[in-house]
Each structure stands twice: as structure tokens, then as C-alpha cells.
Chains A and B, each alone.
Chain A
């Protein structure tokens, strides 16, 4: 098929899935935080609040789009555009799975495989600082400016430990392209431990993984590092003066950054789409088993539901899960869905960790945050890189 048309179709699919994921990530976050805090979360709009993101989108779109008179109009319009542009474009180098062969179409589940993919993501996270800094400046408001500068300084400070934590597994895997990184993590050690970077010799990259996660929390301005945009601190930080669609852009940029960083962590440290245990021990049946168990649970609770409308919604959910379980065993789409399942579940676990930490930890004060970056994480990242390099050089 023509390369251009195929790429356009892939880009449309990825964009659609990404937008839906961002919307429902917010739903998942609200539900998970609610259940951790022993309440229910949104449940009125649609069954179990499933249409809540749609309601939020309608609300944000129909809100009055104010343009305060004292702002710098050029930068005021440019800042959310920059933030969301660099956040969304990073998804174009992330591989989601293996090669796909559908009849005459033969393509990889990735928009483009740059052989400097890791550097591309680092560059984009550096450019994303501009959106925040310009938003704070353009608002012509001292709280917004302070919030913007603090947030940009935090993002830059944590880029350094993040880059060092990325460099350590690259020393072991010897490539900068994401697809080759995942291919270098295939296979099994001792027959049953997957050769993910966090298990691989000569130096299992567990410290790098932890440093990367903490730095990623700080890069995306999430709790416990979200002082610059906390509501009870600097009003709302750099997006104080923004309303309606521009505020939604910053929101979308934050969630897109979260998804990108989780994908990069999965690809670099958790082995991408490779399963957790070998195929001969039945890793192929795991998604079917999980979805079938979920369907049975839904059907069981559908017979004595806690709420009257659950008599309908729970069995419907059970049928959907059964359909998914059957799809994983289907001949043609089964092998396509398997790597997607593993990739999505690993990314989902990291996103759940993000949400879990948000519901649990208090936030750092700003000077504690910066001191933590420069006096703890940066030396630890350098020491980790040094030890990794030493062990790689000694073992080859």
C-alpha cells in the first residue's frame, strides 16, 4: 500500500486512541482516587460515571473563553499550543507492538522508528518547558509568573537525573532506537526470567528505573512535585488566567506527558511488549484468563447487584469482557493483540502508580524539591551511570 496513505491511517488511529485514552485516564484517576479515599467518585453521568469525560469536555468547550485585557495576547495564545503540541508529538516514536501482517499490508505498530528515538523524546521534553514558562509570563500576573518560573525550573532540574537514568540502560543495550531497544530485551534468563533491563546483567537497572520514575513524576508536575500548580498554593500556578479550551489544552498536555513518560519507562526498563514468562508456560492464555475471570465476576455480581441499574450494566460489561477474551484467542487478530496487551498493561501499571501516589503522598515544598533534585538524585544518577559503565566495560 502507498506509504503515505498507510502512515496517515496509522496516525489517525494513534491520535484517536490517544485522545480517548487521555479522556478516560482522567475518569480512571477520579475513580481510583475516590476508592482509595473510601468514596465512590463520579457515578451520575452514565453508568458508573463513564460519560463523565464527555460531560467535562462539553463543560470546558462551552465555558466562556475569556481573554483578560492585560495579557500579552501573542504569547497567551501560543503557550497552550506549544505545550500540547510537544506533548502529543512525542507519541509518534513509541512502538506499541511487533510487525503486523494483514494480507498485503505489512507495517510496524509504530508511527516512525527514528534511530535516535530516545534523543527525540528528551528533546521534546526540553521543549515542553516553553509552554509552561510562556504561560506564566503572558498572564501578566505575579502568581502565574512565579508558578511558571518555578515549574520550568523544576522541569529543567529533573531533566538531568532523567537523562542519566535513561543513559544507563542504553549503555547495556547499545542502541538509541526504541524498536531495537525492545528487541534487545527479548529472550529469557535461566529459562524463566525475562531479559528486561531491570533483570538483565551485568547490572540490573533497578536504581535507574526508580530514578527515572521519580524524575518523571517531577517532569510531568505530578504529586508529590506539583507545588507550582497546586490549587491551594499559588492560586493555580501558571494556568491561573486560562479558561475553557486553553485550560483544557494544559490539562491534556499534562496527561499526554504522563502517558509518554510511562511508555518510555516501559520500553526502556520493562521490556516493551515482551511477556512476563515464556510462551511455553502458557503466557499466551493470560489475557484470555484475565478477561474471562472479569466477565465471570461481572455476571456473578450482576445477579445480586448493589444498585438497581447494575442489573443491566454489569452483565453488559461481562459480555464485553467475554468478547475481548474471545478476541485474544482469534486466529488473525490474536497475535496482533497480544503484544498490545502486554504493552498496555505495563503502561497501565505505571499510570496506576502515578494515580496511587497522587492519592497517598503530600507534596514537597519547593526548596525541598530542588534540593532533592540537585543533592540527592543527580549524584545518585551519576553514580549509577558510573557503576553501569564500569560493569559493562569489565564484562565485555
Chain B
């Protein structure tokens, strides 16, 4: 049952990822990326990371991607032109990619014990309470530094995107 869930959502993620790379219009790519994020959120739930799954939905799929879609709509980005590729690149690209990924998959599978499998409920400490305990005790310095980082990003974004007062 867990395998079928994993395979369905992994297939959705890979198809949406392919769609992101292959589509011509940026808005279809953006929606495919939202699809990838949503299926990854389900996979995080399978891995016991409930807080991270919801954070993925709230922050990534619900805020960052909406920002992307706003920018695409505001800039009225149209479909892009495809350049003519060299012949050997278009014929050797996909098999080479498949070969490299197959090699990586084989190496990964050989190095990990096959008996260790992911079952829903195998990791129970992915709760908000556990993350909060670690975040505010062991990792409190990165936490504060990232809050300053966000402040810098906000100031930078406002300065870059504001209208020139001439």
C-alpha cells in the first residue's frame, strides 16, 4: 500500500518535472512546479515529516509559487523560441541522461540495505513540537540568522522593485 502511494506520487512528480522542463510557456511550467511540490508534500507525509509537508504547502506552494505566477502574469511572458540544436546534442542527450541516472540508481541501491523500507508511521517524531524543541535549542543561531536574512531579502526586493522617483 505504501509502495503504491509512493509510485503514484513519484510518477506525478517526475511527470510534472518533465513538464516544467519541456513546456514552452512559463505559466505551465510554474503550475507543473506546483504539482511537483504538492506530490513531494505527500511523500514527506509518507516519510513522517508532517510539519515539513505542511510547511512545503504553506510556504513553497502557497507563497513562493504564487509570487512566481504574479511575476509571470505581470511581465506577460510569452512562449519562448526554441533554438536549433546541434544534431548530436539532440540525439545523445536523453540516452546519456538515462544512462547516468541508471548508474546512480544502481549505485544507490547497492549501497543501502534492501530491508530498510519506509512505512507510514515508521517515524513518529516529525511533529511541530519536536521541530520546535530542536529549532529553539540546538539550532537557534541559524534560526536568528535566517530571520535577518529574510529582512535583508525584503529590503533588497523593495529597493530593487520600486519605481524610480525622478
Contact = CB atoms under 8 A, between A and B. Distances in A.
Contacts of A116: 50-51, 54, 127-128
Interface in B47-68: 50-51, 54-55, 57-58, 61-63, 66
Contact of B70 (A74, A114, A119, A149): A149
Contacts of A156: 63, 66
Contacts of A123: 54, 57-58, 61-62
B27 interface: yes
A127 B61 contact: yes
A152 B66 CA distance: 9
Q: In terms of DSSP, what is the predominant structure of the interface of chain B? A: helix
A162 B62 CA distance: 15
Interface residues of A, number: 24
Contacts of B62: 123, 126-127, 129
B73 interface: yes
A130 B66 contact: yes
A119 B27 contact: no
B34 interface: yes
A256 to B, nearest CB: 18
Interface in A126-142: 126-127, 129-130, 133-134, 136-137
A216 interface: no
A126 B57 contact: yes
Interface size class of B (residues with CB under 8 A): 20 to 34
Contacts, number: 58
B51 A119 contact: yes
B63 A137 contact: no
Contacts of B75: none
A168 to B, nearest CB: 16
A149 B67 CA distance: 11
Q: In terms of DSSP, what is the predominant structure of the interface of chain A? A: helix
Contacts of B74: 149
B70 A152 contact: yes
A179 to B, nearest CB: 15
A137 B128 contact: no
Given A123-B57, A137-B27, A153 B50 contact: no
Nearest to A120: B54
A145 B27 CA distance: 14
17 contacts: A74-B28, A116-B51, A116-B54, A116-B128, A119-B51, A119-B54, A122-B54, A123-B61, A123-B62, A126-B57, A127-B62, A133-B73, A136-B73, A137-B69, A137-B73, A149-B70, A152-B70
Interface of B: 27-28, 31, 34, 50-51, 54-55, 57-58, 61-63, 66, 69-70, 73-74, 127-128
Given A116-B128, A123-B54, 19 more contacts: A74-B28, A114-B50, A116-B51, A116-B54, A119-B128, A122-B54, A122-B58, A126-B62, A126-B66, A127-B61, A127-B62, A130-B69, A133-B69, A134-B31, A134-B69, A137-B69, A137-B73, A149-B70, A156-B63
